[in-house]
């Protein structure tokens, strides 16, 4: 069982899952939220650690208002949502979400360690970590300092993206962190009028990545109104498409990790 570094820390976290990609703009934070919510729907106790310090977007995606951080004894209290998800992000500590975080690598890595060891997560089955894009200092800190159960890699079906994602997957391989699987975002387009499914880029790149690293494609997330409106309107749980993605994502992770 994973225990934070600080002595006498009451946190008991069974599995740490990193959500990572080689580059920004592929929907990594969206997949982090969907992963956490999917696991919550499976009856698990779940938290989200927003490790993308310089590009934090989890609070906006989850529609969390400005939050005044509270102290719980020697620890910081995370935000707890109506769905029961515990969340920690740098966005809760700055004056406004558009304020840039201009920190060098060592300070970013220190903040991540504090989010891990000085936040009162309590007992969780899964802590999902929204990683920064690329193979920076923060990624190295997480891989070296935390006992990760594995990474979910987010990609889109394009040649350039798959090449960059492959670099991050090789990094995880060299750091001996397991790969849970791939999530392909913006996989295809569903017409809101006729429901026709169209693949703009084809599906070969992600399948090739999965074969190359001996893993599987967990789920394909389409470009659709339900997912496109999520940052502004929230997660539409009445949508069969959203429900299907959540069910498959949660089921695959639980099968792999328990």
DSSP run (H or E) holding 33: helix 28-41
pLDDT of res. 7: 52
Query: What is the CATH code of the structural domain delimited by 12-257?
Result: 3.40.50.300
Any idea where the domains of the chain sit in the sequence?
12-257
Please provide residue 167's backbone torsions phi and psi, each rounded to the nearest 5 degrees.
-60, -45
Closest CA to 185 of 13, 5, 23, 2: 23
Contacts of 94 (CB under 8 A, 6+ apart): 101
- What percent of the chain is predicted at pLDDT more than 70? 95
Closest CA to 121 of 170, 175, 187, 72: 72
Sign of CA dihedral 87, 140, 108, 182: negative
Q: Is the pLDDT of residue 1 over 80?
A: no
Label residue 6 by pLDDT band (50, 70, 90): very low
Closest CA to 13 of 127, 170, 149: 127
- DSSP annotation of 93 reads G
For the purposes of burial, counting CB atoms within 10 Å of the CB of 71, is it exposed (0-12), middle (13-18) or buried (19 or more)?
Answer: exposed
Label residue 4 by pLDDT band (50, 70, 90): very low
For the purposes of burial, counting CB atoms within 10 Å of the CB of 89, is it exposed (0-12), middle (13-18) or buried (19 or more)?
Answer: buried
pLDDT of res. 184: 94
Give the Cβ contact number of residue 244 at 10 Å.
Answer: 11
* Backbone Cα Rg of the chain: 18
Beta bridge partners of 154: 183
Q: 76-90, 100-114, 173-187, 207-221: which has the minimum mean pLDDT?
A: 100-114
Label residue 129 by pLDDT band (50, 70, 90): very high
pLDDT of res. 101: 80
CA–centroid distance for 108 within its chain = 18
CA–centroid distance for 154 within its chain = 9
pLDDT in tens, 46-82: 999 999 988 888 998 998 876 777 888 889 999 999 8
């Amino acid at each position: 069982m994973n225990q934070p570094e600080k002595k006498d820390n009451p946190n008991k976290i069974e599995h740490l899952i990193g959500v990572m990609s080689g580059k920004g703009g592929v929907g990594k934070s969206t997949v982090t939220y969907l992963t956490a919510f999917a696991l919550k729907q499976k009856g698990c106790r779940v938290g989200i650690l927003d490790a993308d310090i310089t590009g934090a977007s989890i609070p906006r995606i989850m529609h969390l208002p400005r939050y005044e951080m509270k102290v719980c004894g020697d620890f910081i209290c995370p935000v707890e949502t109506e769905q029961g998800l515990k969340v920690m992000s740098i966005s809760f500590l700055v004056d406004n979400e558009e304020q840039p975080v201009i920190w060098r690598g060592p300070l970013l890595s220190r903040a991540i360690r504090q989010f891990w060891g000085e936040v009162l997560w309590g007992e969780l089955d899964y802590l999902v970590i929204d990683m920064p894009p690329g193979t920076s200092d923060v990624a190295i800190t997480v891989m070296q300092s935390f006992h990760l159960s594995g990474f979910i890699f987010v990609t889109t079906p394009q040649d350039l993206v798959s090449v960059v994602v492959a670099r991050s997957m090789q990094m995880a391989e060299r750091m001996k962190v397991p790969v849970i699987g791939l999530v392909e975002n913006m996989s295809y387009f569903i017409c809101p009028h006729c429901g026709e499914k169209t693949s703009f880029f084809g599906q070969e790149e992600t399948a090739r990545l999965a074969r190359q690293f001996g893993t599987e494609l967990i789920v394909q997330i389409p470009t659709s109104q339900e997912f496109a409106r999520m940052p502004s309107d929230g997660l539409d749980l009445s949508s069969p498409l959203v429900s299907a993605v959540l069910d498959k994502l949660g089921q695959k992770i639980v099968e792999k990790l328990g």
